[in-house]
Chains A and B, each alone.
Chain A
Amino acid sequence: MGKDHKKGPPGWADRILEWYCADYYLEEVQGDLHEWFAEQQIRSPRWLRMRYFILVIRYFSLTRSKSFHKLINNTNYLSMKNVLIITWRNLKKDKPSGIVRLANLTFGISIFLLALVYANYELNYDRYHENGVDIYRLGQDHGGDKAWAASPIGVGPFAIENIPDVKRMARFIPVQETWVQVEEEKLTEKRVFFADSSALTMFSYEMIQGNPRTALTDPFSIVITESMAKKYFGDKDPMGKTMQLLVDRGDSRIVTGVMKDVPAQSHLQFDFLCSIYSYGDEDYQRSWRNYFVYTFIESEKNDLEKIQELIVEEFRTRYRAGDDDYFAAVLTPLHNIHLYTSQEKDNADHGSIYHIYILFSIGTFVLIISCINFINLTVINGLDRAREVGLRKTVGAFRHQLVVQFMSENMILLVFAGLCSALLLLIAAPFFRDLSGLNLPLNFISSPQILIPLVLILIGLELISGIYPAVLLSGFRPAEIIKPAGSGYRGLKNIGVTRKVLIITQFSLSMILVIGSIIVYNQMSYLKNQDLGFKKDQIMLIKLNGAMRDKLEAFKDAIAGIPGVTNLAISEDVPGYRISMEGMRVPGSTEDIMSRIFGTDEHFLEAYDIEMAQGEYFTNAAPDQRQFIINETMAAMSFGDRNPVGEQLIWRDTGRVVGVVKDFNFQSLHTAVEPLAITRYLDINYGFLSIRFNPQSTDQVLAGIDETGRKIYPDLPRIETEFLDDRFGQLYLAENRLQTIVWFFCLVTVLLTISGIFGVASYNAHKKSKEIAIRKVLGAGSPEMIWQLLKGFVGLLIISLLIGLPGAYYLVTWWLQDFAYQVNVSPFIFIGASFIMLILIFVSSGLVTFRATSVNPATILKNE
């Protein structure tokens, strides 16, 4: 007993206490413990040191712990807590304003983020290739309207062997459509290429099985994508299995590699890569005759001119071409292909840099509009707090403290709006994918990189839309404010100009967006409904291939017998698809005219119902000489004013012009009608069967074709048909996407503008509430006073129109430049849009004002 009495409480237990316990409590708690210890020594000293230790542990709690105590007593935490409370109370006090402000920001941020993600997605095409910066597509320019994306098959081997700067080279030969057979299964495939073995190392495709260096070296090897492996082989290992492709005329290929599916952000999309070394013999591989190969070269030294020079030199020697003949080698950086090129014979999935500009500007506009709304509404909301500011100042708050208070409040709203937009995008992601056809990374859970721009936007918005209201609202002078109720916003007089500028900006931008959307819509429906000069809505196409040749006559006859089929025609090319371009020459002239040309049978023009300007359709009688039918553009280019019928034209051999068709649009309306020659000549290996049908019996015709195909070609995959209509629709895919997106954005803009007007109008009404009350007492009627209040808007509106209308006109004409056929930009659209905006503005502000004028004057004037 005596021993313990001297020893006192254990020091180590005390140290534990000192380690965790906040200073605030330590003295008291430790003192209590020691006192208890001394007491217990007398009353029941058993296990005392142990019990002391247990008690120390039991004293441990969050409130008494050092770090927590520090946190909750930190001044930042305290002022933050205060700001949170004040913000929350303010939001609760004026719920509609709070909701509108939040909604504004949320929409603005979401739309801007959407535009940003879209632009980023499009700009990152083909960026995943490690050496992408050094890779160029080698094409040619023969002096036509457009450069050629494709080059002859022999250019690549020449470049790698003779130009030291070319480090690597890979060629891709597209196969338009073919069927692929594995054992008994035979399916049609469209994404097939022949490629050099270097393609797998030069480009960063990801191989799952097989060696990228050697996978394509064997002439009869094939590399397939993961999804094709699944489609044809299921769970079995595809390596070493055989596949047969129609393009090989029955030879078997061995699967030597499986790669991950080509990323969506690639201009070159394929499922199968066949070794190019089976494509013709050695001589053919080096020929410079046809233009159908996409050749990519890699060069680290950026001496591109030298490379181009050497290629042009070789071209001239091979063709013994004179210096007059224009020829240039075109090197397109890989990264530019998707957005910046529109070249001949390019089948890449193209985006447009213009669309990025448009959507990005719209996104920015919407963000600005929502920002302005936010600022206006914040200021209006803040007016009610003038007295709070006055009181805080009287009590001793510095202005900068008030600025911090207001800015923190904004920040809280902004962060909340940011969270809402992230959620909104998450929810909207699937809809947007269906709408645009693009799988944008909008989901912030699976693609967290979206959060970085979001945070940056929030910081930017805080700087832009936080400072102005904060500075403005913190500037109230206490003496002016703490006078009898509502006596003055005199300190606010100078804010008029800024607010006017904001309102004008907002109205102008809305005008531009609304007019822009209308024009985009008009242009699109114009393109869709434009008479192309032939009947595109009653024709369906069947692609022909070599395997169908033998029984083609029987097939044709059978189809002709299907009820509902009115005409049949076979041709090499058809409108809506790319028609080959070749040089033609008038006898005696030295200059080639580049013309689109394709061969048909004698029924083609009749089936398409193309109108003749001169001469006749081809006759059935076998001609002794080649016959041409040319279009008016070609006739004017070749023969000027002379009558073309009966004249000679040279293409491969000499032929005679038997007729002239009226110009018709055989391409998308982005381009004007080009020279065209149609000849009676058939290489149906890669041709089309066009079927004109009676629209009322579409289903029967489709069923009939299916049945005929199965009967006549039992070995071939199902015959696939395509409506010419749909084909033309595909040519406007990008514009269609744009149209939908622009409409959606436009709708949001109008909503935002209306909410903004509500805000401004309520501010005006609020400011003039006393004036209204007095007028009312003196006998003014409601309509009169509504006009009084609206009057202020009229001037601003007129200025907005003066800015918005020319702005819209300029932007719209800039966009339309891209089209050879442009819808008439009628002044009625501008007048109509202005009218609609005016009505919207007057109705929405009128409603607010009406509400203000219907208040009992006594309520407002009771404090005077």
Chain B
Amino acid sequence: MKGTHLGEFEELILLTTAVVDGNAYTVSIVNEVEKNTGRKLTLSAVHTALVRLEKKGFVNSYMGGTTTERGGRRRRLYKITAPGFRTLNDAREIRSKMWELIPKLSFDMIG
């Protein structure tokens, strides 16, 4: 078993997979990320991340339908699993907990 730790990039991909649930594959994820964050990702990097997430058991994959642009080739659709969702949720909770711990003073300084 690879470790269950999520990197920043993996977390982003996993999150996006959950967002475009039902139609998550490499190209759609790239587009979705660009739409929401403005980050331009490369296809290959996203694909590698998806393969790793699948190995960690955070996503499942199955072959889906095709379009003419794909020349009849099916797409592999990825779906977030329950452990994947839990990990995502954990990451968020840790983050919000940490946010609450920041003393007021710091905001003042920034502000």
Query: Interface residues, chain A, CB within 8 Å of chain B?
Result: 27-39, 55, 58-59, 61, 63-64
**A58 & B69 in contact (Cβ 8 Å cutoff):** no
**A63 & B48 in contact (Cβ 8 Å cutoff):** yes
8 A-B pairs, CB-CB below 8 angstroms?
A27-B73, A27-B74, A28-B25, A28-B63, A28-B75, A31-B71, A34-B70, A35-B70
Check A58/B44 contact, CB under 8 A, given A31-B70, A32-B26, A39-B27: yes
Q: Using an 8 Å CB-CB cutoff, how does the interface string of B3-45 with A read, 1 for contact, 0 for none?
A: 0000000000000000000000111001000000000001111
**A31 & B66 in contact (Cβ 8 Å cutoff):** yes
- Quick check: is B96 within 8 A (CB to CB) of the other chain? no
**B66 & A36 in contact (Cβ 8 Å cutoff):** no
14 more CB-based (< 8 A) A-B contacts, given A36-B30, A59-B43: A27-B63, A28-B26, A28-B73, A28-B74, A32-B43, A32-B47, A32-B70, A34-B71, A35-B69, A36-B43, A39-B69, A55-B44, A58-B45, A64-B51
CB B13 to nearest CB in A, in angstroms, measures 14
**A35 & B67 in contact (Cβ 8 Å cutoff):** yes
Q: How many Å lie between the Cα of A38 and that of B31 in the bound state? A: 14
- Dominant SS among interface residues on chain A: helix
Q: Identify which of B44, B66, B75 gathers the most chain A CB atoms within 10 Å of its CB.
A: B44
- Quick check: is B76 within 8 A (CB to CB) of the other chain? yes
Residues of B close to A35: CB separation below 8 A = 27, 67, 69-70, 75
Q: How many Å lie between the Cα of A64 and that of B76 in the bound state? A: 15
Q: How many Å lie between the Cα of A587 and that of B71 in the bound state? A: 122
Check A34/B47 contact, CB under 8 A, given A28-B75, A39-B27: no
Query: How many residue pairs between the two chains, A and B, have CB atoms under 8 Å in the bound complex?
Result: 59
Residues of B close to A33: CB separation below 8 A = 43
Q: How many Å lie between the Cα of A33 and that of B66 in the bound state? A: 13
State which size class the interface on B falls in: 20 to 34
Query: Interface residues, chain B, CB within 8 Å of chain A?
Result: 25-27, 30, 42-45, 47-48, 51, 63, 66-67, 69-71, 73-76
* 8 Å CB contact of A55 from B42, B48, B71, B73: B42
Residues of B close to A29: CB separation below 8 A = 26, 47
**A61 & B74 in contact (Cβ 8 Å cutoff):** no
**B75 & A59 in contact (Cβ 8 Å cutoff):** no
CB B12 to nearest CB in A, in angstroms, measures 18
**A32 & B27 in contact (Cβ 8 Å cutoff):** yes
* 8 Å CB contact of A30 from B44, B51, B67, B73: B73
Check A63/B25 contact, CB under 8 A, given A55-B42, A58-B44: no
* 8 Å CB contact of B25 from A30, A32, A38, A55: A32
Q: How many Å lie between the Cα of A35 and that of B23 in the bound state? A: 14
Closest to B73 in A: A31
Q: How many Å lie between the Cα of A63 and that of B76 in the bound state? A: 17
CB B55 to nearest CB in A, in angstroms, measures 9
**B73 & A63 in contact (Cβ 8 Å cutoff):** no
CB A30 to nearest CB in B, in angstroms, measures 6
CB A806 to nearest CB in B, in angstroms, measures 61
Closest to A14 in B: B71
**B69 & A59 in contact (Cβ 8 Å cutoff):** no
Residues of B close to A34: CB separation below 8 A = 69-71, 73
Residues of A close to B48: CB separation below 8 A = 61, 63
**B51 & A63 in contact (Cβ 8 Å cutoff):** yes
Q: How many Å lie between the Cα of A802 and that of B71 in the bound state? A: 85
Q: How many Å lie between the Cα of A58 and that of B48 in the bound state? A: 11
Q: How many Å lie between the Cα of A27 and that of B70 in the bound state? A: 9
Q: How many Å lie between the Cα of A624 and that of B109 in the bound state? A: 131
Q: How many Å lie between the Cα of A423 and that of B47 in the bound state? A: 45
Q: How many Å lie between the Cα of A34 and that of B67 in the bound state? A: 10
**A55 & B43 in contact (Cβ 8 Å cutoff):** yes
Closest to B77 in A: A28
Closest to B61 in A: A28
**B47 & A59 in contact (Cβ 8 Å cutoff):** yes
CB B2 to nearest CB in A, in angstroms, measures 12
Residues of B close to A55: CB separation below 8 A = 42-44
**B44 & A31 in contact (Cβ 8 Å cutoff):** no
Residues of B close to A28: CB separation below 8 A = 25-26, 63, 73-76
**A36 & B27 in contact (Cβ 8 Å cutoff):** yes
Closest to B48 in A: A61
Q: How many Å lie between the Cα of A122 and that of B82 in the bound state? A: 71
**Which 3 pairs from chain A and chain B are nearest by CB?**
A31-B73, A31-B70, A38-B69
Q: How many Å lie between the Cα of A28 and that of B71 in the bound state? A: 11
* 8 Å CB contact of B75 from A31, A37, A58: A31
Check A59/B44 contact, CB under 8 A, given A35-B27, A35-B67: yes
* 8 Å CB contact of A31 from B30, B42, B74: B74
CB A32 to nearest CB in B, in angstroms, measures 5
Q: How many Å lie between the Cα of A30 and that of B66 in the bound state? A: 12
Q: How many Å lie between the Cα of A34 and that of B26 in the bound state? A: 12
Closest to B76 in A: A28
